[in-house]
């Protein structure tokens, strides 16, 4: 009896493997293949926090306590929240030399805690010993931090927290940041200004812009803690390098984009145009984010608008805000039915004077693709003291899904669409159940005969 039962189970298992094995792409078994050609695994992200410990950090203007006390408390919260896969270090500037010799004061930067696996207790103890002391050598500190992060293929980020501009000219920290960026070492520098002045704000914005980082003005301890935590967590996120592009003034002049991530800049109140070709049966998914990397006025918005070449609006996405922000994002979706012709042709035909735009892209088999015009607009404005150039950083994501089935789809009977797979698995379950029922009846009949 036991032997017969095992035989029945084995037969059912073989049937399931036979029916479902062909449903799964061979890629599902890729792990059993040769791993020699796989790329080397990316190293854990590396972040160094650079903290100003100069004498001015004694000022008591952040929530009734000194800037140094607020920074220490914020650091304790940040260290508690650092993701496990982030390698974190801490560097100080102005922490050790209390004298008036400028030459010596401008050398006063050191690594307080090495970049590596984080021992939270040890790092907090090191921060607790800091006392506001000396000068503000931002340029030398950035050079030291870049050296601390040197080597490997990890994502690297420097987060600079300071309450004043550099005191070690002519070594301009903005030029130092540009030199770091020019080396192609992929280090991003983010800057946070504690109770900033206009001159300090300009310098910190310049440092951040040189490496594609962000600048944030901080007036409260909670803001400092939240922002540093965000930047550390961002380092742990998968990084996709956006492709630099430049939007047009009109759709006719706009770059033609494919699926991917793109970076541009847009001045306050500007429109930027981009073009995407869409085949019948495909769906366009687009999103845009504009970063407020400098102080902006209250009440702002971002608009992403899709239209035909003739100017007819198809769909739009918009977002608005009021108050302090770092990024504003919006998106849209536009599915094009397989039965549709191109709206460009329709618009052109409807144009009484024949002036409609008939720019239609065609595939290899002659099928027309609709050209969708994407317009990105913003309603940001800035105080009179804030520079509006260069424009605000803009990231545009283009994704195109679906589309006419090709030979690759036919090979798997369209299983990528989900419903086919569900249906075939259901049929396999019914077949296995029927077989098991037949075997059970046969087994009972044999038992009664014996």
| Residue 399: predicted pLDDT | 93
CATH 2.60.120.380 domain extents, the chain: 243-406
The pLDDT score that the predictor gives to residue 358 is: 44
Residue 450: C-alpha distances to residues 10, 443, 445 (Å): 23, 11, 9
> Stretch 206-213: mean pLDDT, rounded?
87
CATH of 46-236, one of 3.40.1260.10, 3.40.50.410, 3.40.50.2000, 3.30.300.10: 3.40.50.410
**Which position has the token pair 């293929």?**
153
Per-residue model confidence (pLDDT) at position 240 = 66
CB 149 within 8 A of CB 115: yes
Predicted confidence (pLDDT) at residue 343 exceeds the cutoff of 80: no
- 225, two tokens: 């803690």
**152 versus 85: which is more confidently predicted?**
85
Q: Which of 175-184, 192-201, 232-241, 351-360 is the most confident on average?
A: 192-201
* Residue 430's pLDDT band (cuts 50, 70, 90): confident
Length of the chain counted residue by residue: 450
Per residue in 183-200, pLDDT (tens digit) is 766 789 999 999 888 889
- How many angstroms from the chain centroid is the CA of residue 31? 28
List the structure tokens of 307: 């239209």
What CA dihedral angle connects 78, 54, 206 and 88, to 10 degrees? -30
- In the numeric block, the tokens 């029945």 are attached to 8
Q: What would the mean pLDDT of 224-229 be, rounded to a whole number?
A: 90
Mean pLDDT computed over 256-273: 92
116-120-125-128 Cα dihedral, nearest 10 degrees: 100
Name residue, tokens 């800057």: 191
Question: CA–CA separation, 91 vs 110, rounded Å?
Answer: 6
The CATH code belonging to domain 243-406 is 2.60.120.380
Q: Is the pLDDT of residue 363 over 60?
A: no
**Mean pLDDT lowest among 17-26, 50-59, 75-84, 399-408:** 17-26
Looking at per-residue confidence, does 414 or 60 come out higher? 60
pLDDT classification of 362: cutoffs 50, 70, 90: low
**pLDDT 10s digits, 267-319:** 999 999 999 999 988 899 999 999 887 888 888 999 999 999 999 999 999 99
Q: Average pLDDT over the chain, rounded to whole?
A: 80
Q: What is the pLDDT of residue 341?
A: 53
pLDDT tens sequence across 5-24: 444 444 444 444 444 444 44
Measured between alpha carbons, how far is 215 from 217 in angstroms, rounded to an integer?
A: 7
User: Which ranges in the chain are annotated with CATH 3.40.50.410?
Assistant: 46-236
Residue 410 reports pLDDT greater than 50: no
Residue range 377-396: average pLDDT? 88
Of the candidates 287, 310, 306, 286, the one whose C-alpha atom is nearest the C-alpha of residue 373 is 306
| For residue 151, pLDDT beyond 60 | yes
The pLDDT of residue 406 is: 41
Answer yes or no: is pLDDT of 123 > 80: yes
Question: What's the pLDDT tens digit per position in 134-146?
Answer: 999 999 999 999 9
Whether 127 shows a pLDDT value over 60: the answer reads yes
In percent, the amount of the chain with pLDDT more than 70 equals 76
Helix (H) or strand (E) holding 343, with range, is helix 343-350
Residue 33 has pLDDT above 60, yes or no: no
- Closest C-alpha among 190, 351, 375 to residue 275: 375
- For residue 241, pLDDT over 90 is answered with no
Can you list the alpha helix ranges (DSSP code H) found in 136-197?
A: 138-148, 173-182
CA-to-CA distance for 203 and 192, rounded, in angstroms?
11
């Amino acid at each position: 009896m036991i032997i017969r039962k095992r035989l029945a189970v084995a037969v059912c298992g073989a049937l399931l493997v036979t029916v479902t094995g062909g449903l799964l792409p061979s890629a599902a078994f890729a792990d059993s293949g040769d791993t020699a050609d796989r790329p080397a695994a990316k190293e854990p992200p590396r972040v160094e926090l650079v903290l100003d410990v100069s004498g001015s950090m004694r000022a008591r203007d952040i929530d009734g306590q000194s800037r140094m006390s607020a920074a220490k408390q914020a650091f304790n919260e940040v260290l508690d929240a650092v993701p496990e896969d982030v390698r974190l270090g801490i560097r100080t500037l102005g922490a050790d030399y209390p004298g008036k010799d400028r030459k010596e004061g401008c050398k006063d930067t050191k690594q307080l805690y090495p970049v590596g696996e984080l021992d939270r207790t040890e790092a907090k103890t090191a921060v607790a010993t800091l006392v506001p002391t000396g000068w503000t050598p931002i340029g030398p500190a950035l050079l030291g931090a870049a050296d601390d992060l040197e080597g490997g293929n990890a994502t690297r980020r420097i987060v600079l927290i300071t309450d004043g501009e550099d005191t070690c000219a002519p070594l301009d920290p903005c030029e130092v940041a540009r030199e770091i960026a020019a080396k192609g070492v992929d280090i991003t520098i983010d800057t946070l200004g504690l109770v900033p002045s206009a001159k300090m704000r300009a310098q910190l914005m310049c440092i951040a812009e040189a490496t594609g980082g962000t600048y944030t003005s901080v007036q409260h301890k909670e803001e400092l803690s939240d922002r540093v935590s965000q930047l550390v967590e961002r380092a742990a996120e998968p990084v996709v390098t956006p492709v630099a592009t430049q939007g047009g003034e009109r759709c006719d002049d706009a770059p033609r984009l494919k699926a991917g991530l793109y970076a541009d800049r847009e001045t306050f109140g500007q429109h930027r145009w981009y073009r995407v070709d869409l085949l019948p049966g495909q769906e366009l998914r687009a999103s845009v984010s504009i970063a407020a990397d400098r102080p902006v006025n209250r009440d702002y918005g971002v608009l992403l608008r899709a239209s035909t070449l003739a100017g007819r609006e198809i769909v739009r996405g918009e977002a608005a805000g009021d108050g302090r922000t770092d990024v504003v994002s919006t998106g849209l979706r536009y599915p094009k039915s397989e039965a549709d012709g191109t709206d460009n042709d329709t618009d052109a035909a409807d144009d009484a004077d024949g002036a409609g735009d008939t720019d239609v892209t065609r595939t290899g088999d002659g099928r027309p693709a609709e050209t969708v015009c994407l317009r990105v607009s913003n309603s940001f404005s800035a105080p009179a003291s804030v520079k509006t150039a260069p424009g605000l950083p803009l990231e545009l994501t283009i994704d195109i899904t679906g589309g006419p089935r090709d030979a690759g789809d036919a090979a798997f009977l369209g299983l990528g669409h989900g419903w086919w797979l569900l249906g075939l698995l259901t049929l396999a379950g019914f077949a296995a159940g029927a077989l098991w029922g037949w075997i059970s009846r046969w087994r009972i009949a044999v038992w009664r005969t014996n």
